[in-house]
Amino acid sequence: MKKINIFAPAKVNLILRVLGKRDDGYHDLFMVMEKLSLGDDLTLEDIPSGIEFSLEGDSDGGMILDKNLAYRAAKAFREATGEKRGVKIHLTKRIPIAAGLGGGSSDAAAVLRGLDKLWDKNWEPSRLAQLGSKLGGDVPFFCHEGAAIAEGIGDRITPVSKLPNLFILLINPGFSVSTPWVYQEFDLLKTNHESRITNHGSLELDLKLTPPHKDVSNRVLFEEFCDVTSNLENDLEKVTIASYPEIGEIKSYLVRHGAQGSLMSGSGPTVFGIFEDEKTRNDALVKIPMKNWKTYAADNRSES
């Protein structure tokens, strides 16, 4: 039987802006995301029929197959292609779950890309991404190579020229954060602020939920290391830190120990620090206090 191995990288959000809530309940976003050397490994093996799934480590949905994104991706691809053959999937998880690193979405995209190769379908990445958008907001990003701008609900992808080398230290505080809860809190805070602005229009500048957004549509801003660190931005960070102040503590730790920039990724709770060289990053890694923090050293990668 034909078998292939495929890597499913984690991601960080270098920029995450919430532009507004849509009529369908989702949010319009503007994101700049980069893939990392930290990731999960999948093995896909051709079998006569059906979908067999096995797992090492914790995963979104675990062994509840209808909730597991990797399994759902295989099912969706078989249905979309009309393929009668089956696949045996083995997933080895290394990306922490519910951590803002896109692990489940990356696994789903890896299955789509892997089955496309395994079964010689030759779909374009944009076609895989369109199918992946039905599975999760970050799946289309992982169907494309390299860093990218993601807009809409994450389904409109614009590749970004290769970013400079980034030495990254990820710290996960050891608890998970619900993405729907974070967005609900964001909407509530924004509504409260807008109400106060309506009643006190002269205070508008002081009451904005987030500072004015920088224009990052010009890709030249990402050519140098300092271009990346000076544009870090996450609209959800303030909301999550308000309920989980330990995230702010982690950010302060990273900056004190040499990170040129630090930000919460996605809806959290994982925080990443960007270092200019590997030695400074590794020095910070060995000095991390003895807490329940989970740590990962990673680099950015240009291909998934």
Domain boundaries, the chain: 3-159, 167-301
* Tens-digit pLDDT profile for residues 241-288: 999 999 999 999 999 999 999 999 999 999 999 999 999 999 999 999
Query: Which residues are within 8 A (CB) of 160 and not within 5 positions of it... i.e. 6 or more apart?
Result: 32, 146, 147, 148, 149, 219, 222
| CA distances in angstroms from 102 to 71, 200, 221, 235, listed in the order given | 16, 40, 24, 17
Mean pLDDT, rounded, for 217-240: 84
10 within 8 A of 57, measured Cβ to Cβ: no
* Tens-digit pLDDT profile for residues 8-63: 999 999 999 999 999 998 999 999 999 999 999 999 999 999 999 999 987 666 66
CATH class of 3-159: alpha beta
Tokens of 295: 């740590």
Task: State percent of the chain over pLDDT 70.
Answer: 88
Tokens of 73: 């991706």
What residues are labeled active site?
11, 138
User: In this predicted structure, which of 78-87, 163-172, 192-201 has the lowest mean pLDDT?
Assistant: 192-201
Q: What is the pLDDT confidence band of residue 216, given thresholds at 50, 70 and 90?
A: very low
* Nearest C-alpha neighbor of 6 from the set 129, 145, 86, 107: 107
User: In this predicted structure, which of 105-109, 207-211, 258-262 has the lowest mean pLDDT?
Assistant: 207-211
Query: Which residues are within 8 A (CB) of 215 and not within 5 positions of it... i.e. 6 or more apart?
Result: none
Does this model's pTM top 0.85? My answer is yes
For 135-255, where are the E strands, in sequence order?
Answer: 148-152, 156-159, 167-172, 233-234
Q: Is 68 helix (H, G, I), strand (E, B) or coil?
A: coil
Superfamily of domain 167-301: GHMP kinase, C-terminal domain (3.30.70.890)
Mean pLDDT, rounded, for 120-134: 97
Residues paired with residue 150 on neighbouring β-strands, in sequence order: 31, 157
Q: Has residue 213 got a pLDDT over 60?
A: no
* Nearest C-alpha neighbor of 303 from the set 76, 154, 143: 143
Q: Has residue 157 got a pLDDT over 80?
A: yes
